[in-house]
Amino acid sequence: MNKNRKKKVLALASAFALAAIAAATFAWFTSEDEKTNHFEGQIATGKDIEVVETFEPPTEWDPGSEVNKDVAIANIGKYKTLIRVSLTESLQLLKDHQAKPTTGAELEGKTSKDIYVLPGADAPAGFTDSTFDGAAPKISVTAGEFAGDYTLKVKEKAETVGTKTTYTYRYAFEKGGVLYHASGIDGFVRDAANKIKVKSGTPALSYVSLEYNAAEEKAWTQAPIYAPTFTQDGTLIWNAPAATGSNNIQISFNNITTDPTVADKWYFNAADGYFYYTSVVNPGVNTTQLMDAVKLLGTAGNEYSKLIYDLTVKGQGIAAYKDAVDDWLPAGINDSLATALKDLVPAK
């Protein structure tokens, strides 16, 4: 080995967080020391390689829905390099995902980081505004992000069969043009002037406390090594269950191969948990795409309401020489993979 030649090891990390209930926000995490920087649909730049990502943060992540997440690695340095990628996950679930009624007290002084107020839905076509006998029920909050008056809005639809007319109602609280879910109402009664009032019950908003359990965390490359089963879906996609989430989160990959001698593919090494690129990456060139999408499966129950899911993608590059391969794959780790990579590069 030439002791005067320094090996060059390059690393970069990029990540995103998915948060959902029937509504979700996403966050990206990227930099060499993995401090948090938020961006959307951008490129996470490192020194000589970068994780190139295409990602459009959704406003809703429902069970059964898929979020596009394209990932490749670019060599932006001056030297040929070998590349591998590792994944790290973090999943947080609410301590109590059950929605609870409130007449306002639980919202006082709170922010959207503390409380989630369930949204309401407008009535479908064919419903018209109801008129209250007197003032409509109202909930008032005096302080915090939820401060304001929430007024009960009711719409009705009449259906007459013979001499009998039946009314169907749809209702929600409204504040500033935004609708919120209304609960605690046991129907309405009508007077001779067709004005309504609440039959019984106490109109209430519905909220969920955003207090989370400790995060379930898993780095694929740390013992015990996570080695999922990759299931091919068509000709381009390989699906694998995420390391967290009890098989309710699925990650889709591209260009997976079980033969490390096939060029321009990604080989998952179950011995150490890394994805290895099967070709040398020249300066100014990208790898083929590794990741395609992340999906919250339809098997996810209410306990996944308002989840926070972080997936960190970390790319590493090393100088394209035979002895550099030994740093990643010492003898006995995966000799067939090590041989395939060494066959791509010179000794010095």
Burial of 154 (0-12, 13-18, 19+ CB in 10 A): buried
Distance of CA 319 to the CA centre of its chain: 34
What the block records as the tokens of 153 is: 């809005």
The per-residue pLDDT for 58 is: 58
Separation between Cα atoms, residue 9 and residue 31, nearest integer Å: 15
Kindly list the distances between the CA atom of residue 106 and the CA atoms of 101, 203, 269, in Å, as whole numbers in the listed order: 9, 15, 50
Instruction: Say yes or no to pLDDT of 4 above 60.
Output: no
Place of tokens 């406003």: 59
Look at residues 341, 342, 311, 346 and name the one whose alpha carbon lies nearest to residue 61. 311
Instruction: Say yes or no to pLDDT of 16 above 60.
Output: no
What average pLDDT does the chain have? 86
DSSP letter, residue 324: H
Q: How many residues comprise the chain?
A: 348
The per-residue pLDDT for 17 is: 38
Q: Where are the alpha helices (DSSP H) in the chain?
A: 322-328, 335-342
Percentage of the chain beyond pLDDT 90 is: 74
Amino acid at 1: M
Separation between Cα atoms, residue 133 and residue 190, nearest integer Å: 9
The per-residue pLDDT for 156 is: 97
Separation between Cα atoms, residue 174 and residue 172, nearest integer Å: 6
Instruction: Say yes or no to pLDDT of 28 above 70.
Output: no
What the block records as the tokens of 298 is: 């339809």
Separation between Cα atoms, residue 200 and residue 290, nearest integer Å: 58
Predicted confidence (pLDDT) per residue in 129-173, tens digit: 999 999 999 999 999 999 999 999 999 999 999 989 999 999 999
Predicted confidence (pLDDT) per residue in 48-105, tens digit: 889 888 776 555 677 888 888 889 999 998 899 999 999 999 999 999 999 999 999 9
The per-residue pLDDT for 168 is: 96
Name every residue whose Cβ is closer than 8 Å to that of residue 56 and which is 6 or more positions away in sequence.
40, 41, 68
Mean pLDDT lowest among 17-21, 254-258, 317-321: 17-21
- pLDDT band, very low/low/confident/very high, at 24 (cuts 50, 70, 90): very low
Distance of CA 97 to the CA centre of its chain: 17
Look at residues 11, 8, 16 and name the one whose alpha carbon lies nearest to residue 251. 16
The per-residue pLDDT for 59 is: 55
Instruction: Say yes or no to pLDDT of 206 above 70.
Output: yes
In DSSP terms, 106 is beta-bridged to: none
In DSSP terms, 148 is beta-bridged to: 141
Separation between Cα atoms, residue 163 and residue 56, nearest integer Å: 55
Q: What is the 3-state secondary structure (H, E, C) of 170-207?
A: EEEEEECCEEECEEEECCEEECCCCCEEECCEEEEEEE
Stretch 5-34: mean pLDDT, rounded?
38
What the block records as the tokens of 217 is: 């965390």
The per-residue pLDDT for 38 is: 36
The per-residue pLDDT for 125 is: 95
Place of tokens 């339809």: 298
Stretch 12-31: mean pLDDT, rounded?
36
Stretch 233-252: mean pLDDT, rounded?
95
Amino acid at 146: F
Predicted confidence (pLDDT) per residue in 281-331, tens digit: 999 999 999 999 999 999 999 899 888 888 999 999 999 999 999 999 999
Q: Which residues of 69-97 are buried (b: 16+ CB within 10 A; e: fewer)?
A: bebbbbbbbeebbbbbbbbbbbbbbbeeb
Instruction: Say yes or no to pLDDT of 46 above 70.
Output: no
Separation between Cα atoms, residue 169 and residue 152, nearest integer Å: 12
In DSSP terms, 310 is beta-bridged to: 17, 90
Give CA angle at 156 (151, 162), nearest 5°: 155
Place of tokens 């001779």: 192
DSSP letter, residue 105: G
Separation between Cα atoms, residue 64 and residue 257, nearest integer Å: 27
